[in-house]
Structure 1
Amino acid sequence: MQERSSVAELAGSLRGELNRYSPGGKLPSSRALVERFRVSPVTVSRAIAQLAAEGLVVTRPGSGAFRAEPRGAVPTPGDTSWQEVSLSGDGGPEVVPRTVDASGVLVTLAAPPPGVIEFNGGYLHSSLQPERALSAALARAGRRPGAWGRPPTDGLPELRAWFAREIGPAVSGADVLITSGGQSALATALRALAPPGAPVLVESPTYPGMLAVARATGLRPVPVPADSDGVRPDLLAAAFRATGARVFVCQPLFQNPSGAVLAAGRRPEVVRIARAAGAFVIEDDFARRLVHEDAGPLPAPLAADDPDGVVVHVCSLTKATSPNLRVGALAARGPVLERLRAIQVVDSFFVPRPLQEAALELVGAPSWGRHLRVVAAELRNRRTAMTAALLKVLPELALPLVPSGGGSLWLRLPGGGAGADEPAVISAALRAGVAIAPGRPYFCAEPPAGHVRLSFAAVSGPAEIAEGVRRLRAACDELFAGPPRGDSLRA
């Protein structure tokens, strides 16, 4: 975070001085900038790269950086207002507008401003990412015979077989398609399994990225309430009867955002109910490799015990490694696999072979198991630190469940209502120097109360967690003056 702040500050200083140089004029050397601003050569290099990306400077290897020539006159913008009509309805039979609201996803993808603690992140902090192992895997992958050749459209057989073994013995490599991460797999599955305008059942609350994909595909998400044991089978059966839906999307393990694990007694019920309705279950198994060290034995994926092909399984390596290792898998049985394959090919042809080769090198190395053990221990430590800090400093925020996997906590705001205080809390927190995720995007209908999601995986450790909670306390004092309200944080 300090390095990112230094880069931004140096880029800002150089940006403000560009008028001192004529177009084409040479900027001071990297050594001169290091001595003048007392920063590292890496910081100088990154700041210059940022200005080059903005089109303000050009770099010439061996010569240095130069102020860019002025751009030509800005063309007169055209009239794109016609697109509002075109995009709002294409004259087809669809009854659900295919609007795309990515706000719930962007809040976890966008880096906060310098100095702001990232409690809204969706990926592991850089200190938890296996950067050395990834670099080594990528280097080895590049030297593999045929590494830059065209891969099979379904994915490398060795990688498909590895994912199949991870899912369970009932799944073979022939049942698996390699995808560009979990989000791409979800999009492919939803497009394959439901026509535009159809209802799709979802857990409530649930992952905003999935809701965005469903709506962009023209589907109508229908919420099915869940509790600390996962989705309620009685309400799931009722929702199938009421809507005629043919798809249910769920996260049975460490559900996002609640952290719930689908109870053992409910697991076969969910598959049985879907099978009776002639429906598919899309199982988003995103957090299996984010298990905490103190968790008990993990249940197998729903797809591991599904001879009838009810479950379409989605998983990826991204969450446990790096946002840049966008390698995932879709697993399915029966005729639906051919439809999934066709949509995947049309959308993306194939996942780049060097990335697949690097994934194989990574998971086949001895360091892979060590990395997962380190992540399990560190996530437990961060979760424990955040839970303790919230209990001590912010007891008015209710925590229905302390998860044993995943990277975040799901908290209910004090008071009643349906989330009216969320925007005020988010804004006050940002003013206090901590970015948090609002709860509203996790609901596809009116939320029962205001919520926020706090990530402990995206920060550097307990010290930053303690400081972030302290800043959040200051934000809440600004909004909720007086004694704590009725709700209390509980495990």
Structure 2
Amino acid sequence: MFNDSSARIADGIRAWITGVAPGAQLPSTRQLVTEYAASPVTVQKALRALAAEGLIESRPGVGNFVRGPRSMRPQDYGWQTAALGTPRRMLPSISGPLRTAPPDAQALHSGYPEADLLPERLVRASLIRAARGSTATARPPSAGLNDLRNWFATELADKTPAGLAAPTANDVAIVPGSQSGLTSIFRALVAPGHPLLIESPTYWGAILAAHQSGVRLVPVPSDADGPDPEGLDRSFRETGARALYVQPNYANPTGAQWSPDRADAVLDVVRSHGAFLVEDDWAHDFGIDTDPQPVAAQDTAGHVVYVRSLTKSMSPTIRVGAVIARGPARDRVLADLSAECMYVSGLLQQAALEVLTDPGWKTHLRRLRTQLRERRDLLVDSLGEHAPRIRVDHVPRGGLHLWARLPDGTNTDRLVRDCEATGVYVASGHEWFPAEPSGPYLRLNFTGPNPNGFPAAAQTIAAALASQD
């Protein structure tokens, strides 16, 4: 079969290799060009791919030959055990949301929207413009480009009620994504071994950042309305903690959004204990039925340290976010960030600013809201019709995920494996609990590829669940 695809040529050569002995010489490039009616460049590309796989070897001036199996002696790394010693801390294993699903799988496990929901045209154009400017070769300030810091400060200032002091660019530090920002915040605000209050369940990345920072996690129960203020006050008193990590808007994984009264009550508790509230506004751009209401907009005394990221809503390659903090807390966070990474790529900062200030960004967000609503409702309806034993007690008003309760006694690890075996990737809820899980859950992303496959995916999950009966 003639085909001008290097992948097809490589497949044909692989098939030929299986029938010959190691050391056999391949047909010449000229012969392959004739056989496959392909260009020399395409044939060379296929040969390079096969060489990279270790199937053939090239001998300059002689030709290409089938490579025989090499006998590899296992490497002994036992000496490293003594050199490394006991780990200073054991990081939790977070694998579920990070698995790479095959192209033909139904991916409900990831934490990122698919490319069709991103402003691809704006991002590509902004990267080209940024590459032509001075930021492509200049070292940016350690706190970040002033215009970008001013954009983040202005966004939060627009949510700040009249009469309260709004943040300024001097309160902002640009970070290489919220994950790095959280690690620096925890290190700056909480001494190693000291307690950090954290919602349960909560974002697995925050759990990981806390472990990296060496702080001691103290779970605080949280429901569809957020943490209970009375229980939170008790936790502060009993532990002596001086910081609380929360996601008041479209929490990952529950989708909870605090009411204004709940936000005021929680902030009052934090103030009464002279503590910090670390607000992770990860889903600021993913409102569906409501708009995000940052708690930081109500703070004037520096109790709230606010984290805002663009990575999920703009592009996974634009790892740019911001930390907004006031007073000495901001100085400590910036000092830790500077020691960790010195500065964030000026090219990426400028590209992010180009997207944010383009009129098309707001147009994209308006269109995105409609797309998120359609996908969310489709997945909710698919579960209700085809997997009625799985409960979605709270339909999120924003965000990317559903938090689905499984029947008591469900073996979630087995369920995840059984679903994956049939091409449906889901994430076990265990990884979102900083301590023992309160029950069996799945976190299901409704912004992955192929939303038309949601009904079939729900049927697959239901069948895997039924097999455990």
Alignment TM class, shorter chain as reference: 0.7 to 0.9
Match of 1:101 in 2: 92
8 Å Cα contact 2:135/2:347 also seen in 1 = no
Tell me what 2:251 maps to: 255
Q: Does 1:392 align with 2:377?
A: no
Q: Contact conserved, 1:432 with 1:472, CA < 8 A, in 2?
A: no
1:165 and 1:366 mapped to 2: Cα distance?
Answer: 16
From 325, 342, 360, the equivalent of 1:349 is: 342
Does 1:135 pair with 2:124?
A: yes
Which of 298, 301, 318 is 2:292 aligned to?
298
How does 1:13-24 map onto structure 2 within 5 Å? none
CA–CA separation in structure 2 for the residues paired with 1:34 and 1:334: 72
Q: Provide the residue aligned with 1:3 in structure 2.
A: none
1:168-215 deviations in whole A, cap 9, x for unaligned?
251111100011011111111111111111111111110111111111
State the partner residue of 1:423.
Answer: 413
- Equivalent residue number for residue 487 of structure 1: none
Partner of 2:106: 117
| Larger deviation, residues 471-480 vs 315-324 | 471-480
For the structure 1 residues 51 and 330, does the alpha-carbon distance in structure 2 shift closer, same or farther, using more than 3 Å as the test?
farther
Residue 479 of structure 1: CA displacement?
2.2
- Where 2:244 maps in the other structure, the secondary structure is strand
C-alpha distance in 1 between matches for 2:249 and 2:90:
29
Q: Paired residue for 1:327? A: 320
Give CA-to-partner distance per residue, 1:94-146, whole Å, 9 cap, x none.
xxxx211242xx32222113432100011111211222211111001111234
The residue identity in structure 1 corresponding to 2:326 is R
Deviations 1:141-174 (A, max 9, x none): 1112343211111100000001111222511111
| Structure with larger Rg | 2
Q: CA deviation at 1:370?
A: 1.6
Structure-to-structure mapping, 1:145-184, within 5 angstroms: 145-169=134-158, 170-184=166-180
How far 1:13 sits from its partner (Å)? 7.4
Identity of counterpart residues, as a percentage? 36
Whether 1:371 aligns to 2:367 is no
- 8 Å Cα contact 1:102/1:209 also seen in 2: no
Give the direction of change, closer, same or farther, for the CA distance of 1:24–1:318 in structure 2 (3 Å limit): farther
User: Structure 1 residues 412, 146: closer, same or farther in 2, change over 3 A?
Assistant: closer
**What CA deviation, in whole Å up to 9, does each residue of 1:46-98 have, x standing for no partner?**
98887677676899xxxxx9989999977843324535972335xxxxxxxx2
User: Is residue 316–residue 327 contact of structure 1 (8 Å, CA) maintained in 2?
Assistant: yes
Letter in 2 for 1:305: Q
Answer whether contact 1:23 1:70 (CA < 8 A) is retained: no
Aligned mates of 1:261, 1:47 — CA distance in 2: 52
Instruction: Give 5+ residue unaligned stretches, structure 1.
Output: 1-5, 60-64, 90-97, 481-491
Query: What's the C-alpha RMSD, in Å, of the aligned pairs?
Result: 3.5
Distance 1:259 1:9 in 2: 45
Corresponding position of 1:92: none
In 2, Cα distance between equivalents of 1:435 and 1:33: 43
Deviating more after overlay: 244-253 vs 141-150: 141-150
1:465 aligns with 2:465: no
Residues 411 and 308 (structure 1), Cα distance of their counterparts in 2 relative to 1, 3 Å cut:
same
Structure 1 residues 69 and 432: CA distance shift in structure 2, 3 A:
closer
Whole-angstrom distance in 1 between the partners of 2:228 and 2:35: 60
My pick for the range that moved more, 69-78 or 223-232, is: 69-78
Equivalent-residue separation in structure 2 for 1:291 and 1:353 (angstroms): 29
Cα gap change, 1:413 to 1:132, in 2 (>3 Å): same
Q: Residues 284 and 51 from structure 1, CA distance in 2 versus in 1: closer, same or farther, beyond 3 angstroms?
A: farther
Residues 107 and 145 of structure 1: is their aligned pair in 2 closer, same or farther, counting only changes over 3 Å? same
Paired residues of 1:58 and 1:66 also in contact (CA < 8 A): yes
Matching residue's letter, 2:344? V
**TM-score w.r.t. structure 1 length?**
0.82
- Alpha carbons 2:138, 2:346 under 8 Å: kept: yes
Task: Label 1:364 to 1:111 Cα distance change in 2 as closer, same or farther (>3 A).
Answer: same
Deviates more, 1:368-377 or 1:394-403: 368-377
Query: What TM-score comes out, normalization by structure 2 length?
Result: 0.86
Change (3 A) 1:58 1:380: farther
Q: In the aligned structure 2, how far is the partner of 1:449 from the partner of 1:142?
A: 49
Q: Distance in 2 between matches of 1:323 and 1:7?
A: 29
Q: Is 2:337 the counterpart of 1:339?
A: no
Q: What SS does the corresponding residue of 2:219 show, helix, strand or coil? A: strand
Amino acid at match of 1:167: L
Q: How does 1:190-269 map to 2 (within 5 A)?
A: 190-269=186-265
Aligned partner of 1:274: which letter?
A: V
